[in-house]
Amino acid sequence: MRTHIDPDDVRFFSGQSNPGLAAAIACYLGVPLESTRFQRFTNDNLRIQLGASVRGRAVFIVQSMIPPVSERLVELLMMLDIARSAAAQEVHAIIPYYSYARSDKKDAPRISITARLIADLLETAGATHIMTMQLHSPQVHGFFRVPTDPLTARGLFTDYLLHEPDLQNTKAIVVAPDAGSAKSAARFASQLGLPVAVANKTRISDTEVRVSDMLRNQVKGYQCAIIYDDEIATGGSMVELCEQFVKSDIEQIRLICTHGLFVGNAIERLTAFPQVKEIITTDTVPIPPEKRIPIMTVLSVASVFGEAIRRNHLRMSIGSLFTFGEEEMPGEDGGSQNADQR
């Protein structure tokens, strides 16, 4: 039984959003990251050319939906279409950060459920399989009609914190920012052997939220609060939670998120609280040097994606790497699974 991917069987490419992560995934797999040529015409049209033949091979295209999101999305759609048109046997869209997962419902008249629309566009462009990480809400998984694997960075966070001696000697509690993240936070807390609390959050706007005072009773008596969320954008939710913790005499706050966007003055807002001892995130979204402050830890998800790709390509189960996975799960068909995220 093979345990490694034959480099001649696959082709690995990267869009312009996260070439560092793409290179790290390719390195984990022991395959080259092929070149891709991007060109802009005078009328602002984009031209892309893949730098290696893909005929009869499994093609993997890595692209995160980061600002400018529409630009990165068009790049990805074009690259998928190129691979399909050039007779690739399989076309895998590796999307570490699927930003439109937040547009998962119709909560106002005459708006698009964009998470579903983008899922349809990816399939139309040529994706035969999609791999992503930590979707904003579970129902987004059901929007895809091609096999889709939602991975998790929970194991990376768990391993990191279990080796933190300060945390082992501190009375800590894991906090979910809202009911939607409660199950994921509960799994995380269970792996750490810690209790979990769930905040009652009301979103006022894209940048403003309100957290009920009831959270203060849940965290009373604890020294450290570990907030576990899928992403931090403006930091509005985190700021509201931090204010509640300060009122509850919490001495230490650790902020954990899979996708660290930290837009605008989010870093400044979060570090305004001296109780915030650490911000832990991953490289699904590339973080520029100016935002990598001393208390920030960035864990790479290259090994998670790399291992999922390896197992998928070799027809092995990847159940334990899913967002909902807690232990090794045997796959009935040994290949990519499209199980319900809940």
Provide, for the chain, the percentages of residues in helix, strand and coil under a 3-state DSSP scheme, each rounded to the nearest 5. Answer: 35, 25, 40
What are the CA-CA distances from residue 228 to residues 181, 186, 197, 237, 248 (Å)? 8, 10, 11, 11, 18
Asked whether residue 190 carries a pLDDT value surpassing 90, the answer given is yes
Give this prediction's pTM. Answer: 0.90
What are the CA-CA distances from residue 89 to residues 160, 174, 179, 271 (Å)? 38, 44, 41, 48
CA distance 101 to 95: 11
Is 224 within 8 Å of 170 (Cβ atoms)? yes
- The CATH code that applies to domain 154-299 is 3.40.50.2020
Per-residue pLDDT tens digits for 228-259: 999 999 998 899 899 989 989 999 999 999 99
SS (H, E, C) 141-206: HHHCCCCEEEECCHHHHHHHHHCCHHHHCCCEEEEECCHHHHHHHHHHHHHHCCCEEECCEEECCC
Per-residue pLDDT tens digits for 252-274: 999 999 999 999 999 999 999 99
Whether the bond between 68 and the residue before it is cis, its omega within 30 degrees of 0, is yes
Asked whether residue 311 carries a pLDDT value surpassing 50, the answer given is yes
Q: Which pLDDT belongs to residue 331?
A: 31
Task: Grade residue 333 by pLDDT with cuts at 50, 70 and 90.
Answer: very low
pLDDT mean across residues, the chain:
89
Please report, as a single letter, which amino acid is at residue 305: F
Element (DSSP H or E) covering residue 226: strand 224-232
Q: Which residues are catalytic?
A: 201
Asked whether residue 209 carries a pLDDT value surpassing 90, the answer given is no
Asked whether residue 216 carries a pLDDT value surpassing 50, the answer given is yes
Domain at 7-153+302-321, CATH from 3.30.565.10, 3.40.30.10, 3.40.50.2020, 3.30.1540.20: 3.40.50.2020
CA distance 178 to 136: 12
* Token code pair at residue 211: 């957290």
Per-residue pLDDT tens digits for 41-77: 999 999 999 999 999 999 999 999 999 999 999 999 9
Per-residue pLDDT tens digits for 145-171: 999 999 999 999 999 999 887 777 789
Task: Grade residue 136 by pLDDT with cuts at 50, 70 and 90.
Answer: confident
Domain ranges for the chain: 7-153+302-321, 154-299
7-153+302-321 and 154-299 share one CATH topology? Answer: yes
Q: Going by DSSP bridges, is the β-strand pair 10-14/148-151 parallel, antiparallel, or unpaired?
A: unpaired
Is 112 within 8 Å of 104 (Cβ atoms)? no
Q: What angle do CA 235, 119, 305 make, to 5 degrees?
A: 65
Q: What percent of the chain has pLDDT over 90?
A: 72
Least confident of 60-69, 116-125, 311-320: 311-320
Listing from the earlier edge strand, what are the strands of the sheet with 58-62?
A: 10-14, 58-62, 90-95, 129-133, 148-151
